[in-house]
Amino acid sequence: MHAAATLSLFALAACATMNARPFLPSRDFGIAKDGSPTTLWTLRAGGVEVDVTDHGATLVAVRTKDRAGFAADIVLGFDDVAGYESAANQYFGCTTGRVCNRIKHGEFELDGHHYVLAVNNGPNHLHGGATRSLDKVQWQGEVVAATPAAQAVRFTYRSKDGEEGYPGNLDVEVTYTLAANGQLTIDYVARTDRRTPVNLTNHAYWNLAGAGAETVLDHVLWIDAGKYTPVDDTLIPTGAISDVAGTPLDFQKPLPIGLRIDALIGTPTLGYDHNYVLRKGDGLRQVATLQHRQSGRSLAIETTEPGLQFYSGNFLHGQQGKGGRSYALRSALCLETQHYPDSVNQPRFPTTLLAPGQTFRSTTRFTFATE
């Protein structure tokens, strides 16, 4: 009887272990304006720590070490959900969509229907809308891996038919995975019951010297792109695809960001705010690197996407972020993997249309290193 009881207890324990949900440290992140409680999860692996929250499926923090072994948070953000719902937030670290970047005049034609979206950036639609874009809503978060090999949190959200003017119910999944080697991978999946445009990215603002450091103009950037999409005075692509060679946009060799930015400050982009046409490749491939030589930190970006928006933080204005740090003009930059802006109105660009029965998939991976 004693042996049988012991075996039964062992079997129950094994069953409980098999059925246990993976666990990662989490904490309250505040109450959103709509009354929703929000949560912050922390992933730790390979000497890197990552914080993510269910408000906007947002990347809140990335902590890595410099060559002297000191850790710093290298992305901009806020200490709680109230910051992300404030006027100081400029899409810091969020999942951006349904359609990231701009749509001309907030309008498009699809399947015989004329769709009108919010105009929230001059005369145009930006980053999915004004009140119910993906960065402003509450997602459902779930820990899906918590092992020595990988830690992962998956966020899910249903954007209902007509939300922000877009057609179709869109079911979206965003999974952040931190691997044992310290690589951070973001996987996007979306499905719809009606044809609709989809273009998803993460809007992290990076400063490898540490969030709150005064500039990114001393960072060295390489982008694997020989072409870009020129824009009009409202930053809508003209439809042309032009060479970067001979322009301040050429980062085919690693160069300091501040080297030629003065030539762009008097233009409508106010600095760098350009979509790069990445060289084609199969699946996930490396498309950009960022280095901060003083700290020794570097960042490599891989993606499955055809485009990359390089934005040099031209509208940062000294707002206070995490720990009371001030985010000055051009004190951080964005490298947003994406399809091209306004693709729904540009037949020459790779399509952003998703149909019922299809699955949208996109992956971007960040590799952190110290030199």
Helices (H) and strands (E) in the chain, counts: 3, 29
pLDDT band at 100 (very low <50, low <70, confident <90, very high): very high
| pLDDT above 80 (res 19) | no
Phi first, then psi: give them for residue 89, nearest 5 degrees: -80, 130
pLDDT band at 8 (very low <50, low <70, confident <90, very high): very low
Question: Domains in the chain, start-ordered, CATH in brackets?
Answer: 26-370 (2.70.98.10)
**Region 146-152: what's the mean pLDDT?**
95
CA-CA distance, 47 to 116, in Å (whole number)?
46
pLDDT of residue 281: 86
Of 173, 302, 305, 336, which one is the catalytic site residue?
Answer: 336
Per-residue pLDDT reduced to its tens digit, 190-204: 999 999 999 999 999
DSSP class of residue 94? -
CA-CA distance, 43 to 333, in Å (whole number)?
23
Per-residue pLDDT reduced to its tens digit, 228-237: 999 999 999 9
Structure tokens at 145: 């891996």
Check if 109 is active-site. no
| pLDDT above 80 (res 23) | yes
Of 127, 203, 219, 274, which one is the catalytic site residue?
Answer: 203
SS3 string of 37-63?
EEEEEEEEECCEEEEEECECCEEEEEE
| pLDDT above 90 (res 4) | no
Here the contacts of 246-249 (C-beta below 8 Å, separation 24 or greater) are: 249/274, 249/276
pLDDT band at 50 (very low <50, low <70, confident <90, very high): very high
Residue with tokens 């779930």: 142
Which residue type is seen at 31?
I
Check if 173 is active-site. no
This prediction has a pTM of 0.94
pLDDT band at 16 (very low <50, low <70, confident <90, very high): very low
Beta carbons within 8 Å of 73's beta carbon, 6+ residues apart: 61, 62, 63, 210, 211, 322
pLDDT of residue 15: 45
63 contacts 71 by C-beta, under 8 angstroms: yes
pLDDT of residue 287: 98
Query: Within the chain, what is the greatest distance between any pair of CA atoms?
Result: 86
Per-residue pLDDT reduced to its tens digit, 292-312: 999 999 999 999 999 999 999
DSSP class of residue 86? S
